[in-house]
Amino acid sequence: MALIVQKYGGTSVGSIEKIRNIAVKLKTIKEQGHDLVVVLSAMSGETDRLIRLAQEITPTPDTRELDCLLSIGEQTTVSLMAVTLIDMGIDAVSLLGFQAKIISDDVHGKARIEDVDPARIQEELAQGRIVVVAGFQGIDPNGDITTLGRGGSDTTAVALAAALKADVCEIYTDVTGVFTTDPNVEKRARKLDRISYEEMLEMASLGAKVLEIRSVELAVNHQVVLHVRSTFSDETGTLVMKEEDIMEKRVVSGVAYRKDEARVTLTKVPDKPGIAQTIFKPISDANIVVDMIIQNTSADCLTDLTFTVPKKDFARTMAMLTPTAKEIGAQQLLGDENIAKVSIVGAGMQNHPGVAAKMFAALATAGVNILMISTSEIKISCVIDENYTELAVRALHKEFGLDKVA
Amino acid sequence: MALIVQKYGGTSVGSIEKIRNIAVKLKTIKEQGHDLVVVLSAMSGETDRLIRLAQEITPTPDTRELDCLLSIGEQTTVSLMAVTLIDMGIDAVSLLGFQAKIISDDVHGKARIEDVDPARIQEELAQGRIVVVAGFQGIDPNGDITTLGRGGSDTTAVALAAALKADVCEIYTDVTGVFTTDPNVEKRARKLDRISYEEMLEMASLGAKVLEIRSVELAVNHQVVLHVRSTFSDETGTLVMKEEDIMEKRVVSGVAYRKDEARVTLTKVPDKPGIAQTIFKPISDANIVVDMIIQNTSADCLTDLTFTVPKKDFARTMAMLTPTAKEIGAQQLLGDENIAKVSIVGAGMQNHPGVAAKMFAALATAGVNILMISTSEIKISCVIDENYTELAVRALHKEFGLDKVA
């Protein structure tokens, strides 16, 4: 008899029929004697529909009011799920963010969960009920509805699992787990049985979309074991857990990529104190997130500075930097939107020298030119020409033996 | 500078365009320096759509969960209205039932408001905001969402007006006020400038659909002056107020009718103690509401008993009474679905003898046969053949001079 928190995403609850299918699964688990807390997203497309509705009024709706509107999506699915369960003879109750006491800050549209008071949920569980909680939404200290941003339902599920000290937090999605790489790019991608929190964090930030990054951070902090698995099959998925609890450590666990960044280069920048501040302060003030920054070794007190920004902010960044480049006496301002970032991730690489060299060699053999490199303890990222993305992913996947069963 | 509570019904907020039109009206009133609390219904048809959605799962959805789902309708309109106002540069805030602290009992689907804690609304008003409150919904002592039943937004508005000690509670609807009778039946129906609470209660219970009856009861209890008026014109509507405050009292204020009842008669029932109990107990147990009951003078210890029930419960009532009729030794069980109830209402009739005689004479002159009669201090109702309804309404409207300006 375990306490299980489950989360179902938008495609899993996209229709009355799908809701009924999940209800049948829940009934089985409940009848095995487990306690069940189920977190639901809005039906797929519903959040976007509500945003469009508000945008019929204004392109920039008030964020407090938009949150009140958007929370409707999850309110619909949880009440329909509870109706379905009760109709099947299973005692169940839906709880919205304010009822489940999911306390967040008041940053509407991307609020952070600050606390969860599990008393009501525990009370309902003690009554033998399945508790169906609206994901993505919280309540701030003023008593106003907040939303947690894209993927927020994952965060809701992990926060509840932490507060309830659940045995496991199962994230049901439309794939069977976390893969060694994107199966759309490499057919031989394999599902991982286990992955460490740190690896999952890197994979998520490098473009693997299976888990929202904040939910993984929350899981690390509270040591919540995540089980990423498919709504549409009974296959075991991927466990996301402490590195120490994973017996066999792979050097490289996965290959990730993202194509949503652009590269900006300032050449022959006078290398003197304060120059980085002059360049990056206005970019940061404009809320543009800079990812990789590379500064080449200075020659003649002149340096080349290269960094990446989101593609959607590229034009704005170039426009802002045109006067700056002149002001600081840089030779040229160059930009390139046709880049991709390809990365290998693996908790084992910190104890294995030569992983980077092996990566660069594999890319060279495949004829892929490396434009930028950045590394952390458990990942190595290379920026390359966007056209070579899939080729590079497949080459690295093969090089590190990811297509073979471990 | 007044404190005004306004309520807009579903047809008034049926689209983004209509919401914008109301927002423009609110802006004008706000700029005149008044404090404004605005109660909104769901967009017309939305509540029915949500009920149908739940009924795709089961014809009898759990009422607690259905309330959670139904409350979405008003949540949508209040957030869209607040978005619109804020976009127009008017400070505004939406509040749901739980935020406006509209405390109800836990009878889901037809909850009664038990208390309103106006602190949050007063705080928002003090900040200079228009407060947009979701009608039709409350929160019960468990923290669960309730709905107040059809027309519940009227009740929300009156409860808020009472709690806030508002100067007036304006009910905006798609007609310009309360009429002497249904304008669809009698073209010469006139809008009443004033009507007493008691008259309005009788009119509402007799079929005039302009105000929900519970909202009028609440208004009497808290002496809230109601102003029923049109969303789509600036014309003054009808004030619903204390009888003492209405200078000129009409003998008859209006003619009402309803066609949704059926008549049941048991003939030659042995007239002995306990017989009424035998007949009406099972009907009451089946939640069937009996309206008029008439028992003729007993002859030879045999009596004819006639009563009316809602048409929708007629077949059920007849089926239940068939064995009962035999059991108690009644001669016949007769039923008639083709009846209507036509009524005249007027606070002045309590001081004017002869009103009933005048009514009966008018009906006789029009060739309308009276099947049943019931009276209260301020109304007289006659059950007649349904086919004569409109004829009877017009005859009475003319007889009591309602087509002439008072």
pLDDT of residue B213: 87
B54/A66 Cβ within 8 A: no
pTM for this prediction? 0.86
User: Are B114 and B2 within 8 A, CB to CB?
Assistant: no
Q: Where are the beta strands (DSSP E) in A208-358?
A: 226-230, 238-241, 254-258, 261-270, 293-295, 302-310, 332-336, 339-345
Beta bridge partners of B375: B380
Contacts of A65 in chain B (CB under 8 A): 79-80, 82-83, 86, 94
Residue A374 CA to residue A261 CA, distance in Å, equals: 14
Residue B139 CA to residue B68 CA, distance in Å, equals: 10
Interface residues from chain A to B (CB-CB < 8 Å):
16, 19-20, 53-54, 56-58, 60-62, 64-66, 68-69, 71-72, 75-76, 78-80, 82-84, 86-87, 93-94, 96, 98-99, 120, 143-145
Minimal Cβ distance to B16: which of A57, A69, A75: A57
B20/A62 Cβ within 8 A: no
What does the mean pLDDT of chain A come to?
93
pLDDT of residue A238: 95
**To probe the interface with A, which of B40, B63, B69 has the most A CB atoms within 10 Å?**
B69
Lowest mean pLDDT of A135-149, A255-269, B266-280, B290-304, name the range. Answer: B290-304
Contacts of B72 in chain A (CB under 8 A): 72, 75-76
pLDDT of residue A243: 86
> CA-based angle B337:B338:B344, to the nearest 5?
110
Smallest Cα–Cα separation from A172: which of A238, A228, A236?
A228
CA distances from B21 to A328, B13, B91, B172, B228 (A): 53, 9, 17, 13, 19
pLDDT at A354 over 90: no
What are the tens digits of pLDDT across the range A303-323? 888 999 999 999 999 999 999
pLDDT at A153 over 70: yes
pLDDT at A232 over 80: yes
How confident is the model over A188-204, as a mean pLDDT?
92
pLDDT of residue A299: 67
Q: How far is B98 from chain A (nearest CA, A)?
A: 9
Residue A360 CA to residue A383 CA, distance in Å, equals: 12
How confident is the model over A84-108, as a mean pLDDT?
97
Q: What is the DSSP letter of B303?
A: E
Q: Where are the beta strands (DSSP E) in B271-402?
A: 293-295, 302-310, 332-336, 339-345, 370-376, 379-385
Beta bridge partners of A6: A38, A170
Which position has the higher pLDDT, A213 or A73? A73
Q: What is the DSSP letter of B312?
A: G
pLDDT of chain B, 406 residues: tens digit per residue:
899 999 999 999 999 999 999 999 999 999 999 999 999 999 999 999 999 999 999 999 999 999 999 999 999 999 999 999 999 999 999 999 999 999 999 999 999 999 999 999 999 999 999 999 999 999 999 999 999 998 899 999 999 999 999 999 999 998 899 999 999 999 999 999 999 999 999 988 877 778 888 999 999 999 999 999 999 888 999 999 998 888 777 889 999 999 999 999 999 888 888 888 889 988 988 889 898 888 876 667 888 889 999 999 999 999 999 999 998 989 999 999 999 999 999 988 888 888 999 999 999 999 999 999 988 888 999 999 999 999 999 999 999 999 886 5
A79/B57 Cβ within 8 A: no
pLDDT of residue B299: 67
Phi-psi region of B360 (alpha: psi -120 to 50; beta: other; left: phi over 0): alpha
Contacts of A54 in chain B (CB under 8 A): 79-80, 83
pLDDT of residue A49: 95
Residue A99 CA to residue B71 CA, distance in Å, equals: 15
